[in-house]
Amino acid sequence: MAAEIIRRGGLVVFPTETVYGLGADACNPIAVARIFEVKRRPAIDPLIIHVADAESARTYGEIPDKWAPALMRKFWPGPLTLVVRKRSTVPSIVTAGLDTVAIRVPAHPVAQSLIRASGTAIAAPSANPFGYVSPTMAEHIHGELFDQIDLLLDGGACGVGLESTIVSLIGPSPLILRAGGITGEEIAQVLETGSLPISAKSHALPQAPGQLARHYATRTPLEIVPDDDRGAFLCAGDKVGLLTLKSPSRPERFASVEVLSETGNLREAAANLFAALRRLDALGLDRIIASPIPEKGLGIAIMDRLHRCAARHA
């Protein structure tokens, strides 16, 4: 039934290993236009297309002989998106008029079977209103986009919890456009390069609007505050929530505390991040304070999301 809806130009929210996607047939420009409408997403912000395997990726993009084969072999299916030259099979609404296309092969079994049964590529942004926190559970869709979609496939909580890492293969060397579920170190290791450049954090005219300085934002103001400075940020009478990697020393000072991983495991923290932000955001707090997380491995992508959330309120 879900595949039938896609084939008929409908919208299906489906689970991937990263976050839930708001999917439509990538080859149907009218269906894709509905994605932009429902998300209230600016038309200048291109979408990722989801295909079942590396072979199908070649139908939609010109896969370069350099770098791509090694990356696809190692990370597909999985949370890596590659930006390559597009083919004419991809309508320009998907790529916002760019001559490049972002392609990924999701690992989630529900996403895989949806794509295969639909027999097309599925264009899908994260299934949240533009600028808000991405959904990592089916419940997150309710009260947001639910009324405007044709079907919601519930696949439980997303295992990775952060969006895919986006790597552009367009320039003279690979460039990370968005930090995500696969770390720069893992990618550099496969490419046998020292380290991989990450594109500057925000752009006026971004190559990837996921790079927009203000994104992934809670409605409640959020600030990143080092643990030692916390006291100065707590005013009497203010209801403050704390988002932290490990248990804090004086939890009673906060109206609510979200611990991302008791053991400090960054994978677990990434998987919990968006649901924790959404829980805090639902409490009607005056402010959310986030403790900085070590910027190593997945910590880079986690801090990237927190910085963008904080920028919204700066």
Per CB under 5 A, 81 contacts Mg ion: no
Which one of Mg ion, ligand TXA, none interacts with residue 10, CB within 5 to 8 A by kind? none
The Cα diameter of the chain in Å comes to: 60
Site residues for ligand TXA, 54-93, by CB under 6 A, read 79, 81, 83
Each residue 91-130 as x (binds Mg ion by CB under 5 A) or -, in order, gives -----------------------------------x----
- Cβ(291)–Cβ(279) under 8 Å? no
Closer residue to ligand TXA in complex, CB, 145/285: 145
d(CA 209, CA 216): 11
- Cβ(298)–Cβ(162) under 8 Å? yes
Closer residue to ligand TXA in complex, CB, 47/266: 47
- Shortest distance (Å) from residue 77 CB to ligand TXA: 11
**Cα pseudo-dihedral 70, 191, 68, 33, rounded to 10:** 120
Per CB under 6 A, 208 contacts ligand TXA: yes
Instruction: Dig out the tokens for 201 from the structure.
Output: 């954090």
Q: Count CB-CB contacts under 10 A for residue 109.
A: 12
Run of H or E including 78: none
What are residue 100's DSSP bridge partners?
Answer: 85
Closer residue to ligand TXA in complex, CB, 20/254: 20
**Nearest 5°: CA angle at 175, between 123 and 196?**
130
Per CB under 6 A, 124 contacts ligand TXA: yes
- List the one residue out of 130, 119, 158, 124 whose CA is nearest residue 48: 124
User: From the list 16, 120, 183, 244, which residue makes contact with ligand TXA (rule: CB under 6 A)?
Assistant: 16
Closer residue to ligand TXA in complex, CB, 201/246: 201
Query: Which region among 41-49, 56-64, 231-239, 255-263 touches ligand TXA (by CB under 6 A)?
Result: 41-49
How many residues are listed for the chain in this entry? 314
Q: Which residues bind ligand TXA (CB under 6 A)?
A: 16, 18-19, 21, 45-48, 79, 81, 83, 95, 98, 100-102, 104, 124-126, 163-164, 166, 177-178, 207-210
